[in-house]
Amino acid sequence: MKEATYIHGYSNEESLRLHLQANVLESIIHNDSIFPNNSRILEAGCGVGAQTRILASKNPKSNFISVDVSEDSVREAKRIVDKTNISNVEIKQADIYKLPFKSETFDSVIVCFVLEHLNNPVQALTELKRVLKKGGSLMAIEGDHGSAFFHPASKYANDAINSQIQLQKLNGGDANIGRKLFPLFQAINLEYISISPKIVYVDPTKPKLAEDFLKNTFTAMIEGVRENAIQNRIIKKQIFEKGIMDLNQIIESKGSFSYTFFKGVGIKK
């Protein structure tokens, strides 16, 4: 069985980062994550429930089943859903490659920040399509670390970001998967495919976004691979640290930072 390798790990810190990230990105990536009332929706790879919370609140008259392969994540997602009194979500442990659902069960299927971590995204998408009703919609949201660019220029910051990209590749994932949503959707023969870029731009006129997205979401995510990237000799400690410092000084330096997410929707024939 192909296991998803989640390179960011399962620490409490990472869980907090994921919830923060979900809040920051809500208006950017979920503004149009709206489904008809009474939809039966599968969220695959829900992790600690960071997106689940948002999707379920935005669609109170739809019913979600959110699954994840990790037992720990499922436990945490259940805790979050109970704590926030969300009643339209059922959380289950399940493998995205081998879902415990009959074919054509769901009106819509969502994957958010999941495909990037998989060894075989086409196989996972094929399985997601199997459980989707004919005419149902598949929605995928993914980042693309190769889309990050900033001022002032820093070779160290580029190296630190690239170390994350390389580590993810080493683990069978793809940190630059956002730009590939179109061919992935086409590979499983969806129709009416529509891919939208969602760019996040930060400069000193946006101090909250700088704090929440650039520092606590993006840079924190890069920082999260520190030990792993250094141990795997992908990058030297001094270079990594300097890179993180440079990313953290972009706003002080009156610079800017841009990053693009991609949201794809397609219909099962």
Q: Contact positions toward its own copies, by CB under 8 A? A: 144, 146-147, 149-151, 176, 179-183, 186, 193-197, 199, 201, 203-205, 254-256, 258, 260
| Contact in structure between 114 and 8 (CB atoms under 8 Å) | no
Smallest gap from Cβ 221 to its own copies, in A, equals: 19
Min dist. Cβ of residue 209 to its own copies (A): 12
Burial 157-192 (b: 16+ CB within 10 A, else e): bbbbbbbbbbbbeebebbbbbbebbeebbeebebee
128 near 104, Cβ under 8 Å?
A: no
Distance CA 235, CA 163 (A): 6
Grouping H, G, I as helix, E, B as strand and the rest as coil, residue 62 is coil
Of the pair 6, 257, the CB lying nearest its own copies is at: 257
Beta carbon of residue 88, minimum distance to its own copies (angstroms, whole number) = 32
| Residue 23 or 186 with smaller CB distance to its own copies | 186
Among residues 123, 85, 127, the alpha carbon closest in space to that of 106 is found at 127
C-beta of 34 vs 199, nearer to its own copies: 199
User: Distance between CA 42 and CA 29 in Å, rounded?
Assistant: 18
Cα 152 from Cα 194, distance rounded (Å): 34
- Among residues 179 and 242, whose Cβ is nearest to its own copies? 179
* Rounded least distance, CB 144 to its own copies, Å: 7
* Min dist. Cβ of residue 181 to its own copies (A): 8
- Supply the minimum distance, in Å, between the C-beta of residue 198 and its own copies: 9
Whole-angstrom distance, CA of residue 255 vs CA of residue 251: 5
Per-position b or e across 255-269, b if 16+ CB within 10 A of its CB = bbbebbbbbbbbbbe
Nearer to its own copies, 87 or 249 (CB): 249
Closer of 97 and 218 to its own copies (Cβ): 218
